[in-house]
Structure 1
Amino acid sequence: MKRTRKLWLANSLVFLVVLVAGIFIFERATHRNDTWNRVQQRQTLKIGIDDTFVPMGFRNKQGQLIGYDVELARAACKKLGVRPEFQVIDWSMKETELATGHIDAIWNGYTITPERREHAAFTNIYHKSYQVLLTRKNAGVNQPQDLHDKQLGVQSGSSGYTMFQTKPQALKQYLKTKPVQYDTFDKAINDVRVGRLAAVLIDRDYANYYLNHETGVHNLKIVATSFPPDEYAVGVRKQDRTLRLKLNQAIQQLHRDGTEQRLARKYFGKTTAKQ
């Protein structure tokens, strides 16, 4: 009996040692994979963007990179004591760029979706928008149903295209043909303007900014859809828990000190909803 008890105690002790060692090894591995220390050492945060996504990140007429997300990222990096290094990426390959370490974050109107959660971790939501149709006033598109015999454009890899595929009742059910896919929105908008497309599925903030700042757009209009809101957040690697925490803290500070609201008025003509 005593021997059995000693054996049980010995086995329990071995199990405990293995368990503690396993936890220690896991934590060390997780810590090594967390790149915050590396970001601090090089004093640079590599941010992946699509530099045609108005008004989140785009080029002005002088070729300078501007936009709501660009300025918000710069302000957040200042809070973190690092420099932002913006890298233009193929938007359809954004999660791959993140996973391979070419960038540290995706910060460019990056909408939270279940599919994206499989490949990235998100900060807290900092902005919301909606998917709309941008069309010509004479194209005969006043509601999604009017696209039944017309051609639609979408951006590959965009949240709008994801919603188009996963929520067919909002728009896809009305189309007879597959939408034309573009690598950037500006190309799709140009095809709307010249009549090659009836409409493009696009972010409302982009459409509003385009109509308010571009010339020769008096013949374009916005048509609402029933898609749920886009919730924007910064995407990082799942193991980068420290970076995610730091970004959340910086964004919260920018909300409290009024920076976020100032940028919202500048690029959206309004303040963002309180988070």
Structure 2
Amino acid sequence: MIKRTKRRLSKSFLLVCFFLLSLSLSGCSFGAIRHLDAVNDPKTTLIVGLDDTFVPMGFREKNGQIVGFDVDLAKATAKKLGQKIAFQAIDWNMKETELRNGTIDLIWNGYTKTPEREKQVAFSQSYLNNRQVLVTLKKNHIRSFADMKDKKLGLQNGSSGQTLFEQQPRVLKNIVAGKTAVLYDNFNTAFLDLQAGRTQGVLGDSIYAGYYIRQQKDPSAYQITTGGFSGETFAIGMRKQDTKLKQRLDQALDELRRDGTIARLSQKWFKQDLTVNP
């Protein structure tokens, strides 16, 4: 009798466990479905993750307001979508993790489209042209990547420049001191070290480099060298399952390109039209 009771309890326990597990799995599934619906609901505010020091794409002014090319473009896109948008400062090195965890809905801050990143995120259509360039001080007489031999290089941790630096070592990595680079949380700090002489070059986005130099008291003191890295483009990153959101973003970006909005914003922030034309 006792053995039968134990067997019944054991079976009941297993059934309860199975039921709870089913509820748990169903809850996860329903949660994902609700989330997919939410990002396409006009009542839902889309959260944009950005490095709020990345001039001129998305950065904070002295009053704390976030401004920049991508901020303006995001706001224009939000109008096309009929949906609110908000900006969340994140650790740029953790951007894909933040997206995957649902802390943010979009990575939109001079985010370069690369094959490596395409394995983790879905990209919108490209909207802006960019390339990696070497920024130096003219007084150091560095006119080519070869001139960086045994000199210290700085770059931002988690940037596309870091990826190219590691993937194509013959272009620059094998030339610089120690075959390594000094990593920074943001480009602002990297440029301060360049000015102080702690490094002799900074590898970064041409868009950022041009804007930063134009803000200096003596822009002529700087040298921009193109080197051997090929051109790249900026796009919006999102979760791969957010397919409807991607379609809506692509349509909005296409309309903003055709009506000249992206070109006008490019002239405003970069003094030239860097729009990607299909």
TM-score range, shorter chain: 0.7 to 0.9
Q: Contact conserved, 1:33 with 1:240, CA < 8 A, in 2?
A: no
- Which range moved further: 149-158 or 139-148? 139-148
> Does 2:247 correspond to 1:258?
no
User: What SS class does the counterpart of residue 141 from structure 2 fall into?
Assistant: coil
Q: Which consecutive unaligned segments of at least 5 residues does structure 1 have?
A: 1-27
> Does 2:277 correspond to 1:274?
yes
Q: Contact conserved, 1:33 with 1:239, CA < 8 A, in 2?
A: no
Q: Contact conserved, 1:36 with 1:242, CA < 8 A, in 2?
A: no
User: What SS class does the counterpart of residue 139 from structure 2 fall into?
Assistant: coil
Percent identity, aligned pairs only, is 44
CA distance in 1, matches of 2:33, 2:156: 36
1:23-46 CA distance string (max 9 Å, x none): xxxxx9898276243452643110
Indicate the residue corresponding to 1:159 in structure 2.
160
| 1:38–1:219 CA distance, 2 compared to 1 (3 A) | closer
- Which range moved further: 218-227 or 243-252? 218-227
> Does 2:199 correspond to 1:197?
yes
| 1:83–1:215 CA distance, 2 compared to 1 (3 A) | farther
Superposition misfits of 4+ residues, deviation over 6 angstroms: 28-31
CA distance in 2, matches of 1:34, 1:169: 44
Indicate the residue corresponding to 1:226 in structure 2.
228
Q: Which consecutive unaligned segments of at least 5 residues does structure 2 have?
A: 1-28
| 1:36–1:266 CA distance, 2 compared to 1 (3 A) | farther
CA distance in 1, matches of 2:260, 2:109: 20
> Does 2:213 correspond to 1:183?
no
- Which range moved further: 257-266 or 170-179? 170-179
Q: Contact conserved, 1:132 with 1:203, CA < 8 A, in 2?
A: yes
Aligned pairs, how many? Answer: 249
CA distance in 2, matches of 1:36, 1:214: 46
CA distance in 2, matches of 1:59, 1:225: 31
- One-letter amino acid of the structure 2 residue matched with residue 248 of structure 1: D
TM-score of the aligned structures, taking structure 1 as reference length: 0.85
TM-score of the aligned structures, taking structure 2 as reference length: 0.84
CA distance in 1, matches of 2:194, 2:37: 43
CA distance in 1, matches of 2:220, 2:197: 15
User: What SS class does the counterpart of residue 193 from structure 2 fall into?
Assistant: helix
Indicate the residue corresponding to 1:122 in structure 2.
123
CA distance in 2, matches of 1:39, 1:59: 28
Q: Contact conserved, 1:34 with 1:240, CA < 8 A, in 2?
A: no
Indicate the residue corresponding to 1:97 in structure 2.
98
CA distance in 1, matches of 2:210, 2:104: 29
Q: How far off its partner does 1:140 sit?
A: 2.6
CA distance in 2, matches of 1:131, 1:116: 17
Q: How far off its partner does 1:135 sit?
A: 0.9
